[in-house]
């Protein structure tokens, strides 16, 4: 109590259903999205239509809050058709690598969200939840999480060679595509996640240890903030501003 209320940084807002449909019909870069998930052989996608925004097509009201797994698509264009129909608030992919007898490995990933930073103005996640702002964040938190993603990238780059960073719409994801990282055991992942957490990184341990195997799909639309999820080069991180960078603005938001 007594802390300022806030919602989202200036310029970020929910997308309408019409905007979501227009994005997946005209803008969604299928080729790059499929290139990203290529190491997974037969990628499984997932969509959430309206769990947080409560914005969903009427005909899907029964499934608006569930996570819909998309594993029976016939190819890239079929995925596009499905997304245009569902008009989801979020699209994910499954990091597991599936063999004949089930998962044989998992892509190593780190999820850094602004609400997990301790903001000098808004406080900790607990403080934010107490004022009903568990998913809200401010520009200060956005900058703190960007700096943390840069530090984590540099640290991982000392042990791995295929490290990539993605602006996830709200925060940042760091992905490791080294073959050895796919084969890490669950306890290795858990140890790594807890160690980084203890050292002050605002990472979601559930994602890194593998309990949450879904992660946001690069090139998809994050419809809670109306930003496109985009991979960044390491040297672009310092100056990246998701409020104004045209690369993450859908066409319908550009002047």
| Residue positions counted in the chain | 255
> How far is the first Cα of the chain from the last one, in angstroms, to the nearest whole number?
38
Q: How are strands ordered across the β-sheet holding 230-232?
A: 108-112, 172-176, 163-167, 230-232
Quote the distance between the C-alpha of residue 217 and its chain's center.
7
Nearest distance from C-beta of residue 149 to Zn ion, angstroms: 17
Rounded CA gap, 168 and 164, in Å? Answer: 12
Give φ, ψ of 42 to 5 degrees. Answer: -120, 85
Q: For Zn ion, which is the closer residue by CB, 122 or 146?
A: 122
Q: Which pair of tokens denotes residue 194?
A: 């807890």
CA dist., res. 180 & res. 200, Å (int): 25
Q: Shortest distance, CB of residue 133 to Zn ion, whole angstroms? A: 9
Shortest separation between residue 138's beta carbon and Zn ion, angstroms: 3
Phi/psi at 23 (5° precision): -60, -50
Closer by beta carbon to Zn ion, 6 or else 14: 6
**Beta-sheet pairing, 172-176 with 108-112:** antiparallel
Cβ closest to Zn ion, residue 6 vs residue 34: 6
Residue nearest to Zn ion (CB): 119
DSSP H or E segment with residue 98: strand 96-99
**Residue 217 CB, nearest distance to Zn ion (Å)?**
27
Task: Write down the least CB distance from residue 206 to Zn ion, Å.
Answer: 23
Task: Choose between 138 and 214: whose C-beta lies nearer to Zn ion.
Answer: 138
DSSP code per residue over 20-86? HHHIIIII--HHHHHHHTGGGSS--EEEESSTTT----GGGGGGTTSEEEE----SHHHHHHHHHHH
| Residue placing its CB nearer to Zn ion in the complex, 4 or 255 | 4
Q: Smaller CB distance to Zn ion: residue 55 or 147? A: 147
Q: Which is nearer to Zn ion, 88 or 114 (CB)?
A: 114
Per CB under 5 A, residues contacting Zn ion are 119, 121-122, 138, 140-141
CB 224 → Zn ion: shortest distance, Å?
17
Measured from the CB of residue 137, what is the shortest distance to Zn ion in angstroms? 6
């Amino acid at each position: 109590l007594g802390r300022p209320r806030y919602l989202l940084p200036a310029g970020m807002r929910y997308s309408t259903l019409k905007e979501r449909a227009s994005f997946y019909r005209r803008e969604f870069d299928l080729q790059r999205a499929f290139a990203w998930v290529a190491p997974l052989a037969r990628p499984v996608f997932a969509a959430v239509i309206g769990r947080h925004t409560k914005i969903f097509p009427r005909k899907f009201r029964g499934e608006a809050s569930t996570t819909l797994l998309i594993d029976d698509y016939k190819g890239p264009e079929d995925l596009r058709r499905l997304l245009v129909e569902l008009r989801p608030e979020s699209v994910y992919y499954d990091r597991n690598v599936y063999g004949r007898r089930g998962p044989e490995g998992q892509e190593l990933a780190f999820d850094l969200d602004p609400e997990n930073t301790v903001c000098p103005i808004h406080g900790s996640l607990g403080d934010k939840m107490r004022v009903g702002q568990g998913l809200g964040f401010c520009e200060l938190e956005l900058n703190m999480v960007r700096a943390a993603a840069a530090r984590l990238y540099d640290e991982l780059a000392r042990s791995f060679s295929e490290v990539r960073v993605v602006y996830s719409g709200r925060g940042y994801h760091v992905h490791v595509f080294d073959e050895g990282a796919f084969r890490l055991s669950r306890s290795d992942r858990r140890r790594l996640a807890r160690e980084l957490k203890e050292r002050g990184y605002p990472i979601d341990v559930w994602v890194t240890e593998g309990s949450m195997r879904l992660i946001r799909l690069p090139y998809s639309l994050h419809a809670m903030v109306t930003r496109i999820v985009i991979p960044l080069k390491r040297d672009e991180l310092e100056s990246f501003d998701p409020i104004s960078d045209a690369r993450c603005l859908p066409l319908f938001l550009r002047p």
